[in-house]
A and B are shown apart, each in its own frame.
Chain A
């Protein structure tokens, strides 16, 4: 770990002022950043501790929720409003990491966590994220865990968050503040696809700080779920995950929200699958066709071709379950 100065922010304006310095990084729970600092992948000169800020979950006027960026992952999943109105968000968070890590990790940090691609962590390997232009050893390496959608020759890494997959399905927004003022960014636009610049992972401007996540009201999200498929039964990153909410009207799908995790550089909102399903029947054939539409552009690597079929089956299972629950 390289030496750094530690500053505990007392309020958001103070944090943003400290965070504007060159070489400054915001510190939430540290569960990802401290690990990356120890590997010298991250080398901040100043750590601005924002874990003491924005620690509340509040109702907004429209029936949604505003979750402060400093709220711990455990606290979000345990919140009764989240469990009742947005069960897929509680489940997504509970499926991630371990009890210890969820007690430390903040909402802001969860959004900002970096890929768990092994080549990103291994400084003996080439990685365009760590060193732009160096090349990518995952392309022809051990890429069982890597992306099948939206990847580029420069980077095939996946985004590791479970929470963000549910946020993408829900259409949540990320509230940020910087020296240029405050703004709100849809979560689906917050993370970038790798393209030629995989080291640029979000649309955050230098020094901007996540202050909160806005959950819009979505009454039918009461019928929602998160399913995660992985190599171990618990405490492992997703090979494929699905967050979905479903509203039935008689035998017809009135509305549906779907996002995938584990298959792309960002939480993957499945807009094509949603469009294919709306106003149609809730049958296995329809679910299959929706998955096929969404995964039509999938470009599997040598070792992760199974993810196309796995994502298809996971979606069929999740939608079947939600259609059954909707009666």
Chain B
């Protein structure tokens, strides 16, 4: 099977039963992506495929051949953290850290959805052109990522701060 993972082409042999999560962790030693529930309930395994967040535990690797996969290893590295990772550190957006790679990848996918104007269940005006980023929207859009340490306040604050900054830098949003 062929994939493009964190910007690099990868060839790997695997059984058709292999999940994308197990492919990353067991075959490619990319252990940053975590296995929590292994049934799509916790979000610890979240990765980006062609820019969209998915649960890699529910994805059969064979179905994702030739796609662009980004894991937490492709988001940032020690010494060159992504701004969202820095914000998680600053706001105590974790304790044990097990859910964090999934939270970060999920938040980046969410930001892209927001930029594309995808509404959520708590979006009041479903026909609005641009989406307002507030506490309730973040909680709803991030509900697929559980944190058993309960670091949600820090997680929400880190996401809000990072994405709010991004919004200010976006001239289209400033004009609106």
Contacts and interface: CB of A to CB of B under 8 A. Distances in A.
Contacts of B126: 83, 87, 90-91
Interface string B63-96: 1000000000000000000000000000000000
Interface residues of A, number: 40
B144 A235 contact: yes
A1 B43 CA distance: 21
B144 A98 contact: yes
A269 B163 CA distance: 41
Contacts, number: 109
A176 B41 CA distance: 31
B100 to A, nearest CB: 16
Contacts of A78: 116-119
A192 B54 CA distance: 31
Contacts of A83: 119, 126-127
A4 B53 CA distance: 27
Contact of B59 (A84, A97, A104, A233): A104
Contacts of B33: none
A90 B19 contact: no
A34 B140 CA distance: 25
B118 A77 contact: yes
B127 A104 contact: no
B63 A234 contact: no
Nearest to A91: B121
A123 to B, nearest CB: 15
12 contacts: A1-B17, A4-B17, A5-B16, A6-B60, A38-B39, A74-B113, A78-B119, A87-B126, A91-B126, A98-B145, A99-B142, A103-B54
Contacts of A5: 16
A65 B38 CA distance: 36
Contact of B16 (A6, A101, A233, A235): A6
A27 B52 CA distance: 19
Given A84-B127, A103-B109, A234-B139, A30 B116 contact: no
A30 B59 contact: yes
B40 interface: yes
Interface residues of B, number: 38
B35 to A, nearest CB: 12
A123 B5 CA distance: 37
A44 to B, nearest CB: 11
Contacts of B46: 100
Contact of A100 (B15, B54, B121): B54
Given A34-B60, A38-B39, A103 B16 contact: no
Contact of B106 (A3, A87, A99): A99
A31 interface: yes
B141 interface: yes
B113 A100 contact: no
B39 A100 contact: no
Interface in A70-112: 74, 77-78, 80, 83-84, 87, 90-91, 94-95, 97-101, 103-104
A90 B119 contact: yes
Given A3-B16, A51-B63, A234-B139, A99 B119 contact: no
Contacts of A30: 58-60, 63
A99 B39 CA distance: 15
B40 A35 contact: yes
A77 B39 CA distance: 24
B143 interface: yes
Nearest to B123: A94
B106 A31 contact: no
B111 to A, nearest CB: 11
Contacts of B38: 38
A272 B103 CA distance: 45
B17 A94 contact: no
A308 to B, nearest CB: 25
A274 interface: no
Interface in A15-40: 27, 29-31, 34-35, 37-38
B110 interface: yes
B6 interface: no
Nearest to A37: B17
Given A5-B16, A78-B116, A31 B40 contact: yes
Interface in B5-36: 15-17, 19
Contacts of B59: 30, 34, 104
